[in-house]
Structure 1
Amino acid sequence: MAAALSYEDLRKQARQLENEIDLKLVAFSKLGAGIKTPHSSHADPDTVPLLSGEDTFETMSLEIEQLLNKLTQVNERLSEQPVSGAAMLHTLQRHRDILADLSRDYRKTNSQRESRREREDLLRSSESFRTDGINNRRDMYLKENQHVHK
């Protein structure tokens, strides 16, 4: 089992994790806002990135979840420390509030990205339906035209 950390060590660890999560959330939200699904069949293989935006998003999502879990554990360990005054209570509450804010931002970015992806899928399916409908209609006109000219 790890050696018991002091209150100050735990606070430093919590602040470090909060800062790291915050930086990753900024990049995560930018990536989530700009995800484009690569469905082009004529893409140059030399210019296609090895990891798609989707893969990068999933990797970052997993990293942030792990960091949030670590921060939760650190906050729990902070709460187990003997309380010595109102300042300490305020600090503990502040760390809990920061964790709640970071978790909310993470869930919000995930849900926005999921909504965007569903919308893109819906638009893509309606586009293929529209194209198929036009092709079918054109084929029917061609057949009808051929019957008329026979």
Structure 2
Amino acid sequence: MDQESGWEELRKEARKIEGDLDVKLSSYAKLGARVTQGGFGDGDTPSMGSNRSWKSMEMEIQSLLEKLLDVNDSMSRCAASAAPTTSVTQKLARHRDILHEFSQEFRRIKGNITAMTEHAELLSSVRDDISEYKASGSPRMQILRERAAIHGSIAHMDDVITQAQTTRAALGSQRAMFGDVQGKVKQLSEKFPIVRGLIGSIRRKKSRDTLILSAVIAACTLFLILYWLSK
């Protein structure tokens, strides 16, 4: 008798939760239909208040689904503890089917609302970008862009002038170095005649010594020949 009363209490609680879920899901479905049919307007995004109401409704439905699942589990344990009849088994299966249908409906509506909300936010972002682009075409923005371009050109010219000055300084240094080399070459060319004259003097002295030595040898040879003939 206690098990039967417990079963009936659990079933009564399950029917109450199912009724609450039916009402909540109906309101949630209307909200989803309004969103999917463009209830926010072309490109409009949901307000903060409506967003909070969705989240609150989603949390309530999720909580009711969890409660119904717990009650169904309790009903299953209660039915298993007694000899389950065909009627009890059918009623328990029906409650499980209702829970499954509610869960699927909740996920479907939630997915539609999420997709449409993201779509609306994307359109709003695109509109903001277009508005910003159009605003950038105002005369003031054009003047600012031209000023920035002029500053960029001046900076580029400064870089070119700096490079030219650096190149000029390098060429001047090379010219000075070439001048020093030319001066040294000139100095060497001025010293070369003296060296050549010294070498020539040495060669002439060597030739004279050779002639003297040859003459002495010839005289000695002639003297020996005459001495040999006189005997």
After TM superposition, the score normalised by the length of structure 2 is 0.51
Offset of residue 77 of structure 1: 0.5
Deviation digits for residues 22-61 of structure 1, max 9, x if unmatched? 11111122223335423xxxxxxxxxxxx71111111111
Alignment CA distance shift 1:141-1:11 (3 Å): closer
Alignment CA distance shift 1:100-1:139 (3 Å): farther
Offset of residue 83 of structure 1: 4.4
- The letter of the residue matching 2:127 is E
Alignment CA distance shift 1:137-1:117 (3 Å): same
Paired residue for 1:102?
102
Q: Unaligned stretches of 5+ in structure 2?
A: 41-45, 147-231
* Secondary structure of 1:16 counterpart: helix
- Equivalent pairs counted in the alignment come to 131
Deviation digits for residues 90-128 of structure 1, max 9, x if unmatched? 111111110011011111111111101100011001111
Q: Percent identity?
A: 29
* Secondary structure of 1:84 counterpart: coil
Structure of greater relative contact order (alpha carbons < 8 Å, 6+ residues apart) = 1
After TM superposition, the score normalised by the length of structure 1 is 0.75
- Return the alpha-carbon distance in structure 2 between the equivalents of residues 83 and 140 of structure 1: 86
1:1-150 pair list within 5 angstroms = 6-34=6-34, 36=40, 37-38=46-47, 52-80=49-77, 81=79, 82-137=82-137, 139=139
Q: Unaligned stretches of 5+ in structure 1?
A: 39-50
Alignment CA distance shift 1:22-1:83 (3 Å): farther
